[in-house]
Amino acid sequence: MAGGASAATLSVGPGKSYVAPCAAIAAAKDGDTIEIVGDWTYSGDVCAVARNNLIIRGVQGRPIIDAAGQQFGNKGTWVVTGNNVTVENVEMLGSKVRDRNGAALRLEGTNFTLRQAFIHDNENGILSGANRNSTIVIEHSEFGHNGYGDGQSHNLYIGNAKSLIFRYNYSHDAIIGHDLKSRAMYNMIAYNRFSSTPPGRPGSTASGKPSYEIDLPSAGTSYIIGNVIEQPAINDNSSLVAYGVEGPTNPGQDLYVINNTFINDFTAGMFLFISDKVSTPALLQNNVFAGPGTLTSQASAVQKDNRRLEKPGFIDRTGVTLRPLVNEMVLKAGPAADPWTSGADSKARPR
């Protein structure tokens, strides 16, 4: 009886079957796994990732993928045209192209997952095209110091996808661009940290000068839950979060901002800039807004149990240990908030 073909595991690294990732990517078939030996730098190795259901992951440490002046298709380092691709445990840097829009990961297929990665010092960290059938999941990863410096390139730029799930990440120090920009119709942005490294202080990347920490320019059903969102003293835009500012063209215009800690280290600004073209009142509940600035531009926003403090008492603000001091008014001040019963249509959630 003839049996079905099974997925293969292709090994990359010194002494392995493939000396560089792109050789293994070219040889792979749908459903294969590529394991890249870590604690090693692969320079100038750029290509298309065309197979479907492919898993690419670093093992025995984290491999460094350095574009080193090379690019594929004038687009970036890895141009993902396959569907249902997963990338795990890689470090990627150095993506530059002629039009100043190079990306470490250029997403052109349907559905993509990134986990446990460090994406830094590219013109774009991730850049995805418009694909209303695609769900993009990014978790447990760090993005830092991406951007050409023209305001048109970012740590992450997600095109008009079906949904973006962005959770447990650290995005910081974008160079003039945004720490996260998404045009997805549905956004779940949960339990992340958005901030920057003060000049002169050591960090995983150089200091940047970000614009918005989060930009959702096309609106969409969006949840911003449980994040730390910090505006640095050196920035390119005094607003922290922007919603619908390029026109609320997505089907949903409902924004839920719940259980976040906002910190403004600038002398002025706006925590939530919501376009006057957005007709649905945003829900702002159980947030701490620390530092100077206007809370929101939307007069109709529903505000429940938020705490607005010019100088809140945190355990260690500079070290981002943001638990309140024992005598702080925010301690145990917020009631339970269930974002799923706050007016969201359950049909909008990804399955």
The predicted pLDDT at position 323 comes to 75
Taking a C-beta distance cutoff of 8 angstroms, is the pair 133, 112 a contact?
A: no
Write phi, then psi, for 158 (nearest 5 degrees): -100, 125
157-179, pLDDT tens digit by residue?
Answer: 999 999 999 999 999 999 999 99
Distance, in Å, from the CA atom of 270 to the CA atom of 80, rounded to the nearest integer, reads 37
Q: Tell me the pTM.
A: 0.93
The predicted pLDDT at position 4 comes to 45
48-69, pLDDT tens digit by residue?
Answer: 999 999 999 999 999 999 999 9
Distance, in Å, from the CA atom of 88 to the CA atom of 66, rounded to the nearest integer, reads 16
Which residues in the chain land under pLDDT 70?
Answer: 1-5, 325-329, 331-332, 337-351
Triad 228, 233, 236: Cα angle to 5°: 95
Residue 267: closest CA among 299, 298, 235, 242: 235
Three-state SS string over 235-280 comes to CCCCEEEEECCCCCCCCCCCEEEECCEEEECCCCCEEEEECCCCCC
Distance, in Å, from the CA atom of 335 to the CA atom of 175, rounded to the nearest integer, reads 38
